[in-house]
Structure 1
Amino acid sequence: MTIRRVVTGHDCRGKARVVGDDEVEPITSELMPGYAAYRLWGRDERPAFPDDGSPRRAEAYYPPRNDPASWSTRSRPVTWSPPTTSTPPRP
């Protein structure tokens, strides 16, 4: 599966600009065959404009919990392969 990330930023007049367009590499694990997560976007601080579209600090895999002042967000599509099918044994 291919995931494409298009990133926009804003100039000093607030006009949107495309500042990035690339494919996102999957995060996979041998412990979960068929699993792939794609880290599209994340931030740990409040959005501010103008911005240049550069990646923001998002260190933790999950945003901090139980912090009402936190502006943390993550966007991470995940895929799993379908389960294998087998015929149940007959009694």
Structure 2
Amino acid sequence: MTLWTLHAAYDPDARVWYTLDCDVPGLVTEGDTLEHLRDRAVAVMPELIADNAEHLAPERRNGPHALRLVAFHESTVPVAA
């Protein structure tokens, strides 16, 4: 199995999760939830892998493929004393 990793971050002003970094060439997307981001990424991965096959190591070209989503979220909230 070829495991691909997508690092995501949250933009609280835009209220959107977005691709911070991904080892699938060209994979840049966003979603209002992590699940939406994941689903959008999974939908375009096969085409991006095929389109960039000549730039990938031979063992990463063929499936099955899996996506590991690593999300970063930081927030500051007031706390009553």
TM-score, with structure 1 as normaliser: 0.28
Larger RCO: 1 or 2 (CA < 8 Å, sep 6+): 2
Mark the structure with the bigger radius of gyration.
1
TM-score, with structure 2 as normaliser: 0.30
Higher relative helix content: 2
